[in-house]
Structure 1
Amino acid sequence: MDEKLHKSAYGGFSIVSVAPSRANQIDSNLVNKIKALQASESTNCQGISIDGMIKAGKSLHGKNSQSGYTTKYFENSRQTLEKLSVESDFRPPLIKFSAVKEPKPRSDETLTYRMFQSDIKLVRTILENAGFIATEGHDWNLLWIGHNPKPNFYEKLSIYQKISHFPNSFEITRKDRLCSAIIRMQELFGKDSFNFTPETYNLPEDFSLFYNNFNKEKRSVWIVKPTCSSQGKGIYLIDSISEIPVEETCIVSRYISSPLLINSLKFDLRIYVLVSSYEPLRIYIYEEGLARFASEAYKPGHKGNRFMHLTNYSLNKKSENFIQNEDFRLDDTGHKWSLSAIIKLLESHGINTDLLMKNIYELIIKTILSCESTVLETTHKLGLHRTNCFDLLGFDVLVDNNLKPWLLEVNLSPSMATDSPLDTYIKSNLLADMFTLIGLRAYDKKKDGYGRNRSFSKTNAKKPGPSRSQSPPTLKKDSVPKKYREVLRETLEEQERRGHFIRIYPSKGTNFFDQFFTTPRPLNQYLYKAIYIDMMQETDPHHSSIYVSTFSSGFRQDYARHAFKIRPVTCSVEPDISYPPISQPKTYQQRQVSIETQGKNALPEITSSDDSKNKCRACKESQNICPYCRLLKASKEEKIVITGDDILMEYLARLAQVLKNTKENLLKSSWKFRLNNFISHPAWINSDIDQKIWKRVVNRLQEMKDRRRKLVSVLKKKKIVLEDMEKEDVVIGMLRKFTSSELEDILRVSTKSTALEVVKCLIEQENGILSEMLCQGIRQTVEQQDLDSPNFEETEYDKHAFATQIHRETLREKFFNNKAPVRKRLQAAK
């Protein structure tokens, strides 16, 4: 460490530590290995095109060169924006922000901001220098909040009001939720497509699974982190199972023991990511970021040395070895560098940093996609306009010695502390560019009344949208809906205000990621087509062929059978929040007419196919009557109406019971895939990806029951006859006489009251998921349980589960009235 004399403010001199004067070093053997790996990787590049955008990691005070494609793109986009501009723009004027070193507030009473559970000096300074004043009221232009807001913060917003977080964005910023979200995406699309996070487990829920994997390897090192903390608090390394906290909620991840080292020090990258919209999805990355170094040389082992293994600034600044930055222009000295300094050092060793940044971009996009459906669903329920929210996220990325980036965590509110000149320079420019990009406007809610006239509510938010079968509109003015033209104009206007932000989604080649959306988004597809195909007059590289991800061996075989059959379908009409229908329900007047005219004595007509109709006519007088006609006949005898919802609720109750008694690690990947498609369908309200599968199925069942109760309550107020609905016990008793396979057959043809697009994930296969599970998987599970134990309660649904292994002719006779222990029945079934 070098030392120099520094003149203090009091006229004396003091000795201060400065960065080493020698050149920064990377191991030469490691550099050669990285070059060889990059040569093979560059031949297999798919997805985002790094040539189609400005490259991040260039200094803010330097000039970022543009490629020929980028120059042409910006020229064409400005021409397109001129064509989309309207003659009379009634929107309030935009406010431009600037990064300043000292507070110079100027007051404008019409511009207000509110801080809630957060008080960041730098944010206040930049806002007040632009004319904003603080308020504690509700008529603010900007709400800066330090945590994920509660739903009441989003009520009755004007389209010009902004909140600094999207609802439910904590799905990726809480460590446990991020783990669950990535695992879910791995199950849906394969681990190879989402392999950018270390192997992670949520404890204590996943303790048994972690225990098994921990013991497979000797001398493995893991890192334990609290689920929702920051600044390195509560983080430590373990190499013994006895060090795991038994009762605490935490995550445990495999420790990356081979990080890339600079000057023998471990480091990670803080990447600043801005999500300005989820509909359509727009993601930006800031050109500049930070690199945070550990303060002691890295050596394998020494797991108790936090200054060696952790890179958190708040921790390492307490080390006696820590060197603070003293000049933002000297951004490659001390223990905190700029991102551009890291890029410059790697390039000086001949390393291709384009591949590194491309992998970081894709890591960011896929992480956002893992919460996209949850966030967008919530914004619809809350009735938010697409421009009401934004998220500035801090992605912490570790680069290993193969130059592979690993996502460590995502920060909901990244630190804006300015302890050094480098912090002040980067973060003040970051905030100024961000506020300019999101488009804050000089709007006075009290004076102009925009909030009252143009605010969005839950009622007008649920308008019919394009279905999955619809293709995105073309660019011809007479055929493009107004919303699509507005979205295109907003995107191009936002691009003109980007400052030092780089848009990575949409960008050239990002239609490759369409396959990773759990629900297709026509608005995203239109925007990509309008900008990168029509405007740039290029062909779509991912349009003429279907891309199939590389899956693990077990998942690949099961997925291949139904990958292009069972896909989530976008509802053509958004379901109402209060009554989220699985089917498209009749109005109350239509239902009343239906009850009076039909006499409450018939199931919905068979509408699935002509073959089904012919079969039912043929079996009316036959001894082998089909399940549907058996149920139809029984309902006529009892004078009740059985709906498709009744059948589905009975089916889900049985399915939940079987799943509850089956360990999840014994479920086939194909079963998990089909269940996830059913559970995560947009028709449902609840979002519960962190729960076990059987609990999620129970939640869907409960949601249907709640909807039924609400409907009954409303009908009673209208004094409509409800004799058929009040015979619930009779309906349940009748349905329990049918096997699971027979219920599946009935569901296939009773599509008039049950939306096939929702339940087809469960019944589209020949046997249906429940009958397939019972036939193939239940025996192995049951034999592992002590079913004769007094703690095992045998329910009516357990009887169904084991009964399906015996001939259908003896089903009701042997099991519904049989009191023998379950184990004896299973032996009889064998």
Structure 2
Amino acid sequence: MNNPLIPVIEEHDYPCTICISKAESEENLGKMMEEFYGNYSTSQDFEGSDILWLYGEEMGEYDREMFHQFGGFINKIYGTMIFKQKDLQYTIMNQCKKYHADRYGFHPASYSLMREFDLLQDDIKSSGRAKSWIAKPSEGMEGGDIFCFDTFEELMAKGVQEGMVAQQYIHNPLLLKGRKWDARMYLIVHGINPMRGYVSFDCGFARVCTDEYERGNVTNPHATITNGLRNVDHPYYVSEPEDEEDENQVYHRYPLTRAWELASENLDDPEPDLEKMKQGVKDLANSLLRCYRSSIEAEQADFIEMDGTRDKNDKLFNILGLDVMFDADLKPWLFETNRNPGMSLTYPVLDEDGVVIQKNSKIATGVKCNLINEVTKILVGKEDSKKFAKCYDNSDPETGDADFIYEKVFRVFKDICGKKLKRALSVHDFITFVSSLPEDLAEDVRSDEIVNKLTLKNKSEITLPEFFSGLEILSESVSMSLPSFLTRVEGE
């Protein structure tokens, strides 16, 4: 009898060699792949390897040289460093929400501190206690320094850090055994331009709070924050079963296939529309990649010049971790996007002295072996995946990317760059661009005033999101919408 908490590891019939880094978690994953799949092998030599699995956030000069030498697939897109910075993510997402509100309703109201401190303060004052908030560091990991608050006074009392972000808390979550939960899903990003995306519905896991959820009470982290390290000290915390599932026990972690079943028990509908939930995630992933694609391309250009060649583009891929929560109406909410989701095969527990240690996880092993197997199936085997659905392809004219606000801004940005795409324009190039506009598109606007409004006075460069804001200032100065303004600029 199969244990529903242990994901079945499926096989395929073509060989694959993964050149893997020396990080311990990746080495362990490589050993597991060799153990469960007879046709997988790992290597420390990228000659003859199908996939180069790099570990770590930053890329150095060696990686730049290696990119041109390696003939297989590489699991890092440099431009996805953008997902490391929550404040930058929120800035770009908010820019998109302003012009495509219907596509970005999955993203809770979010503010970057201290840059948008006044906007957050206004929102808190206007909503009273109708809204609660969750604060977290821009580049935080493992749930550190996360806290919830209701009022501006509570925020100030707990301390505001530079780069911290604040996000609206959703009060009506879909519960699992009476507890708040979220889903770690995976999004495979293949290439930059064209970029294709594949999102999972069943290859992932749920994280469940230890205490039961009490609507309106955000003071108990064991009931409001799903991170394992924020729940491990609870006396009733059990991450996963040693063997068979005990239905009377609430575990911290479930594979998604089991989480769908358990969550549906909390719905009045005897046959909940799980397909509606999954389609919502697919739409979310589509809009997410559309939102950030052009910024990723600009950031990647700073690291490696792609030359517009398909072979260079297609060797790059990145696995993103999506942290998604569903409300009682089955609507998905995206709270975080992780550029470098952990590949650890363990879970945290406390030892007899109250120190956090790691134990081997059957759930993590099943989920992550399946994840790597599906990546290999899509890229190396060029097969359709049963666990991942294609959600985005910007080379398909049906996506409508040509009319998307960020792609329109990006076209103007690239035109100013000239033959070689840059990560950022010089402030001088931006001022020259403003000066070259017809009077009716820049009437009574001084380029140095725009630079001051963008707080670029002491900077030498202007990034794509800052350029976006600069064009907004210009369009507002001549009482035009940004889309109309862009149409005129492109027509000049």
Same fold (TM over 0.5): yes
Shift of the alpha carbon at 1:213?
Answer: 1.5
Mapped to 1, the partners of 2:25 and 2:326 lie a distance apart of: 32
The answer to whether the 8 Å contact 2:454/2:470 transfers is no
The answer to whether the 8 Å contact 1:273/1:284 transfers is yes
* Partner of residue 231, structure 1: 142
The answer to whether the 8 Å contact 1:198/1:253 transfers is yes
* Partner of residue 375, structure 2: 434
Matched, 1:215 2:125: yes
Matched, 1:687 2:463: yes
Matched, 1:504 2:391: yes
Matched, 1:494 2:382: yes
Matched, 1:288 2:203: yes
Say which SS state the counterpart of residue 428 (structure 1) adopts: helix
Mapped to 2, the partners of 1:495 and 1:416 lie a distance apart of: 23
2:52 aligned to which of 133, 136, 142 = 142
Deviates more, 1:222-231 or 1:567-576: 567-576
1:369 aligned to which of 279, 283, 290 = 290
Which one scores higher on RCO, CA 8 angstroms, separation ≥ 6? 2
The answer to whether the 8 Å contact 2:96/2:406 transfers is no
Say which SS state the counterpart of residue 219 (structure 2) adopts: coil
Shift of the alpha carbon at 1:224?
Answer: 0.6
Mapped to 1, the partners of 2:106 and 2:139 lie a distance apart of: 20
Shift of the alpha carbon at 1:368?
Answer: 1.3
Mapped to 1, the partners of 2:434 and 2:121 lie a distance apart of: 42
The answer to whether the 8 Å contact 2:104/2:287 transfers is yes
Say which SS state the counterpart of residue 211 (structure 1) adopts: helix
Say which SS state the counterpart of residue 383 (structure 2) adopts: helix
Shift of the alpha carbon at 1:124?
Answer: 3.0
* Partner of residue 446, structure 2: 655
RMSD: 4.5
Mapped to 2, the partners of 1:511 and 1:331 lie a distance apart of: 48
The answer to whether the 8 Å contact 1:223/1:237 transfers is yes
* Partner of residue 336, structure 1: 253
Matched, 1:257 2:33: no
Matched, 1:407 2:334: yes
Mapped to 2, the partners of 1:386 and 1:663 lie a distance apart of: 33
Matched, 1:317 2:232: yes
Mapped to 2, the partners of 1:154 and 1:277 lie a distance apart of: 16
Mapped to 1, the partners of 2:341 and 2:192 lie a distance apart of: 20
AA at the equivalent of 1:237: C
Say which SS state the counterpart of residue 121 (structure 2) adopts: helix
User: How many equivalent residue pairs?
Assistant: 428
Say which SS state the counterpart of residue 504 (structure 1) adopts: strand
Mapped to 1, the partners of 2:233 and 2:466 lie a distance apart of: 36
Say which SS state the counterpart of residue 69 (structure 2) adopts: coil
The answer to whether the 8 Å contact 1:172/1:181 transfers is no
1:153 aligned to which of 55, 63, 70 = 63
Say which SS state the counterpart of residue 93 (structure 2) adopts: helix
Shift of the alpha carbon at 1:646?
Answer: 9.9
Deviates more, 1:158-167 or 1:391-400: 158-167
Mapped to 1, the partners of 2:299 and 2:420 lie a distance apart of: 10
* Partner of residue 305, structure 2: 383
Mapped to 2, the partners of 1:578 and 1:571 lie a distance apart of: 6
Mapped to 2, the partners of 1:255 and 1:157 lie a distance apart of: 45
Residue 59 and residue 425 in structure 1: after superposition, are their counterparts in 2 closer, same or farther (change >3 A)? closer
Question: Over residues 363-422 of structure 1, what are the superposed CA-to-partner deviations in whole Å (9 max), with x where a residue is unaligned?
Answer: 111111111012234445623411222111110001112211100101112222223222
Shift of the alpha carbon at 1:273?
Answer: 1.3
1:125 aligned to which of 15, 28, 31 = 31
Mapped to 2, the partners of 1:513 and 1:763 lie a distance apart of: 18
Question: Over residues 281-308 of structure 1, what are the superposed CA-to-partner deviations in whole Å (9 max), with x where a residue is unaligned?
Answer: 2211233221110000111354332111
1:350 aligned to which of 271, 282, 299 = 271
Question: Over residues 562-593 of structure 1, what are the superposed CA-to-partner deviations in whole Å (9 max), with x where a residue is unaligned?
Answer: x9xx995797999433899x9xxxxxxxxxxx
1:395 aligned to which of 309, 319, 322 = 322
Mapped to 2, the partners of 1:690 and 1:318 lie a distance apart of: 43
* Partner of residue 15, structure 2: 96
Mapped to 1, the partners of 2:368 and 2:321 lie a distance apart of: 12
The answer to whether the 8 Å contact 1:268/1:398 transfers is yes
Shift of the alpha carbon at 1:660?
Answer: 5.6
AA at the equivalent of 1:124: G
Mapped to 1, the partners of 2:180 and 2:486 lie a distance apart of: 50
Matched, 1:204 2:47: no
* Partner of residue 42, structure 1: none
Mapped to 1, the partners of 2:400 and 2:264 lie a distance apart of: 29
The answer to whether the 8 Å contact 2:20/2:42 transfers is no
Q: Which runs of 5+ in 1 are unaligned?
A: 1-56, 64-93, 98-110, 440-492, 521-562, 583-643, 665-684, 699-739, 742-756, 766-830
Based on CA coordinates, which of the two structures has the bigger radius of gyration?
1
Say which SS state the counterpart of residue 149 (structure 1) adopts: coil
Shift of the alpha carbon at 1:248?
Answer: 2.5
The answer to whether the 8 Å contact 2:175/2:263 transfers is no
Shift of the alpha carbon at 1:276?
Answer: 2.0
Mapped to 2, the partners of 1:143 and 1:306 lie a distance apart of: 35
1:422 aligned to which of 359, 363, 378 = 363
Shift of the alpha carbon at 1:114?
Answer: 4.7
2:420 aligned to which of 554, 577, 587 = 577
Mapped to 1, the partners of 2:245 and 2:367 lie a distance apart of: 13
Question: Over residues 218-259 of structure 1, what are the superposed CA-to-partner deviations in whole Å (9 max), with x where a residue is unaligned?
Answer: 223211110011221110011221323345320011111221
* Partner of residue 87, structure 2: 176
Say which SS state the counterpart of residue 262 (structure 1) adopts: coil
Which runs of 4 or more aligned residues in structure 1 lie more than 6 Å from their structure 2 counterparts after TM superposition? 569-574, 649-653, 661-664, 695-698, 757-760
Mapped to 1, the partners of 2:256 and 2:462 lie a distance apart of: 40
The answer to whether the 8 Å contact 1:123/1:431 transfers is no
Mapped to 1, the partners of 2:490 and 2:57 lie a distance apart of: 42
Shift of the alpha carbon at 1:321?
Answer: 1.1
Mapped to 2, the partners of 1:567 and 1:413 lie a distance apart of: 26
Q: For residues 53-92 of structure 1, what are the structure 2 equivalents within 5 Å?
A: 61=8
The answer to whether the 8 Å contact 1:274/1:390 transfers is yes
TM-score of the aligned structures, taking structure 2 as reference length: 0.73
Say which SS state the counterpart of residue 31 (structure 2) adopts: helix
Mapped to 2, the partners of 1:181 and 1:328 lie a distance apart of: 45
The answer to whether the 8 Å contact 2:20/2:27 transfers is no
Q: Percent identity?
A: 19
Question: Over residues 712-735 of structure 1, what are the superposed CA-to-partner deviations in whole Å (9 max), with x where a residue is unaligned?
Answer: xxxxxxxxxxxxxxxxxxxxxxxx
Mapped to 2, the partners of 1:179 and 1:297 lie a distance apart of: 30
Question: Over residues 145-189 of structure 1, what are the superposed CA-to-partner deviations in whole Å (9 max), with x where a residue is unaligned?
Answer: 2214357623352362433221121323421122012112123x3
AA at the equivalent of 1:344: E
Residue 248 and residue 216 in structure 1: after superposition, are their counterparts in 2 closer, same or farther (change >3 A)? same
Mapped to 1, the partners of 2:320 and 2:71 lie a distance apart of: 22
